[in-house]
Amino acid sequence: MDQHHQSTTTNSAALTLTTPLHCIVKLGGSAITCKNELETINENNLSTVSSQLRQGMILGPSQGMDWSRRPGSLDIPTVVDEVDDRLASNPKKFLVVHGAGSFGHFQASKSGVHKGGLSRPLVKSGFVATRISVTTLNLEIIRALAREGIPSIGMSPFSCGWTTSERNIAVADTSTVVKAIDAGFVPVLHGDAVLDNSQGCTILSGDVIISHLAEQLRPDYVVFLTDVFGVYDRPPTEPDAVLLREIGVREDGSWSVLQPKLQDTSRQVEITVAAHDTTGGMVTKISEAAMIAKLGIDVYIVKAATDHSARALKGKLTDDIPDGWLGTVIRLAK
């Protein structure tokens, strides 16, 4: 079910960052989990993405920060007695938001949390089950980032007091996020089940969260890491699907394909949404990316754990897009 964009009545703290935010990264649920296998992480992708994030934000060596034992493991965690104060002395400021993938979506869909109705036992149970699932994934992502030496801190929208009204963001206090970034941490937020003033509860998607944070914090650029190379004119599984390399967004929010020039102008961009996806899938992603681009912030949609995602995370696409780079750039039309 599509998630509406936040309303103009959004309540946010009036804090601003002391130094600019370099990048907001969206870890797509389908890229870091096995989306058709309940609560299963794509370990290889998550490990590669975490390494690429470290390379994008930290110059020089770093020290692992996960000193706790993983469930079911007999390994004793390595605790560093001495940490070199010169390590990662001036990292770039990043913020991470991740989707749910095979965590949370199934629970929310089965119980109808996105439709509201907390007075129903099934919905209330589903709300609890959804939050258990998405916060479990959040912890695993934090640990993967911490193992790479990224000082990641988990922040759930529900726990931070974010709420909606008719499924539009109503209250979204970003003060804790700003303070964490200024303190040198990397906040890691996620799509979440939240309270809704009109229907009791709903699902707040990670894409909507990113759009709101981009408007408030104005990063240099935003990267969406997905399980495909970018946005296509139709489902990428179709043999004649065309990768859209550049999409231009007008000031009124409408958008058009700039590259490549489609030979058949009657072809419309077709979007499919998985049956269990309660947050709008690619429809929401493009809509929110366009809202970000309207602010003059470039958005890169690229396949996770590839050389193309590594280039995007390092900020090497802010000028010209290399011919060999595979992905979609969404930016304000000139």
In DSSP terms, 253 is beta-bridged to none
- Burial-class residue 139 by CB neighbours within 10 Å (0-12, 13-18, 19+): exposed
Name the helix (H) or strand (E) containing 107.
Answer: helix 105-111
- Burial-class residue 68 by CB neighbours within 10 Å (0-12, 13-18, 19+): exposed
Q: Is 294 annotated as a binding residue?
A: no
Q: Is 27 annotated as a binding residue?
A: yes
Which residue stretches of 112-148 are H helix? 121-147
Q: Is 29 annotated as a binding residue?
A: yes
Q: Is 327 annotated as a binding residue?
A: no
Q: Report the distance separating Cα 39 and Cα 279, nearest Å.
A: 17
The residue among 211, 134, 200, 204 whose CA lies nearest residue 168 is 204
Q: Is 100 annotated as a binding residue?
A: yes
CA 26 to chain centre: 2
Q: Is 206 annotated as a binding residue?
A: yes
The residue among 50, 143, 53 whose CA lies nearest residue 91 is 53
Q: Is 285 annotated as a binding residue?
A: yes
* Token duo for residue 216: 């408030």
Residue 31's CB is within 10 A of a number of other CB atoms, namely 25
- Burial-class residue 33 by CB neighbours within 10 Å (0-12, 13-18, 19+): buried
Q: Is 109 annotated as a binding residue?
A: no
Q: Is 74 annotated as a binding residue?
A: no
Helix (H, G, I), strand (E, B) or coil at 232: strand
Q: Is 326 annotated as a binding residue?
A: no
Amino acid at the residue 290 = A
Q: Is 60 annotated as a binding residue?
A: no
Q: Report the distance separating Cα 168 and Cα 212, nearest Å.
A: 11
Q: Is 170 annotated as a binding residue?
A: no
Helix (H, G, I), strand (E, B) or coil at 26: strand
DSSP character at residue 91: P
Residues of each annotated binding site for ATP = 26-30, 101, 227, 281, 285
Residues of each annotated binding site = 26-30, 100-101, 105, 206, 227, 281, 285
Residues of each annotated binding site for substrate = 100, 105, 206
